[in-house]
Amino acid sequence: MPPFDLPEGDPFGPHNLPYGVFSLSGAGDRTVGVRLGDHVLDAGAAALALGSPYAPLLARPSLNPLLAAGRTTWSDVRRALTAWVTVPAHQATVAEFLHPLSSVTLHLPFEVADYVDFYASENHARNVGRIFRPDAADSLTPNWKHLPIGYHGRSGTVVVSGTEVVRPWGQRKAPTDPAPVFGPSVRLDIEAEVGFVVGAPSPMGSSVALADFRDHVFGLCLLNDWSARDIQAWEYVPLGPFLGKSFATSVSAWITPLDALEEARVAPPQRTHELLPYLDDTVPDAEPAGYDLRISVAVNGHVVSEPPFSSMYWTAAQQLAHMTVNGASLRTGDLYGSGTVSGPAEQERGSLLELTWNGRDTLELPDGKRTFLEDGDVVTLSAWAPGPDGVRVGLGEVVGRVAAPNAGPGGLSAGL
């Protein structure tokens, strides 16, 4: 089938055009690509051939120059790309620079500056509270409805979809153990999340208002926040996640621009607590700041959960506002995660921690039972959003295979 003659309703049609970075069969230079169906367009080469003024932004080995250019340029480049793949006068030139996805190697699409992860799903937070604080009067902590809770993660271990995730080593101590032990995690988990990619920076000492969210955030992608629950539980008090999270965070190879998700914008759930002014999105002129993203989580090809992103209590705009309200600056390439996406139903829980209720229940898979992940397991996150005229907007999937632990420090055995 010719590259421009896509099947009706293709989720990666001209209405989508997510950005990535690729090289031909792993060799040669990396360059910015745009996905069209099951092909990738060498956007930089096409821009040069067409004499586009955007060639200096697209003929690059990373999305960062485009990210830094700002919202007006993002929209202008998107309009140009749409014309290149839809206007017949351009297609003869552009066709030369379309490559089958099967013939290219996809890379981490941007240079990650800082990484922050949030805790924005009320369903997830309540489930965690019920698991670990079953006797508490309220399953939420007292601050949860007043601010988006988050932690600063490790940007250097953000990896692109398809990268193997090695089972991490660390300390763990069960409540009944007399002392901590050291070894590979035995409670390796995933968290189905959405990541937001910052383009335009902000100066230190300033803050980003809710209304300015779309001036700074370029787009979004699926994100898997791998979590070693046993390591996390022992180290967590009093400063929060560290080694239990920092070993790997997987993101999609494709960044969907916010401009492709206009039809997916929705109002967040009803606010149950009065919000401070910098977080208040209930004012009459507030734009819808939620997104209707339909996520699927599969383990070894078997769907185990379908979390709805539209149910998230805290929006990405509120998270950005809170992240900068103290004067912390934004940098091009900053990435922040939504936190685990979980809906109200059991089949909508976005982590194995919730799906198995901290290992109490087993997850039935065609290849056996699970409480947490085993070596060799493959986790796949996929998603779509409503698009124009009823067409779906596909999000790039996130795939990660669990690899057996490496030899530990000093050649320690990796026996579990």
Residues with active-site annotation: 124
Query: 158 and 249 in contact (C-beta within 8 Å)?
Result: yes
Q: Whole-angstrom Cα distance, residue 183 to residue 104?
A: 38
Residue 338: closest CA among 206, 234, 223? 223
Residue 413: closest CA among 51, 84, 169, 228? 169
| E strand intervals along 214-320 | 217-224, 227-228, 249-251, 256-257, 265-266, 290-291, 294-299, 302-305
Q: Which two tokens stand for residue 196?
A: 């937001």
Task: Considering only CA atoms, give the Rg of the chain.
Answer: 22
What are the contacts of 230-239 at 24+ separation with CB within 8 A? 230/170, 230/172, 230/174, 230/185, 230/186, 230/187, 231/168, 231/170, 231/171, 231/172, 231/185, 233/172, 234/171, 234/172, 234/173, 234/180, 235/170, 235/171
Q: Whole-angstrom Cα distance, residue 11 to residue 135?
A: 46
Which string of DSSP letters, residue by residue, matches 5-47?
A: -PPTT-TTSTTT--EEEEEETTEEEEEEEEEETTEEEEHHHHH
Cα separations (Å) of 82 from 34, 76, 79, 88? 10, 10, 5, 12
Q: For residue 276, give the DSSP letter.
A: P
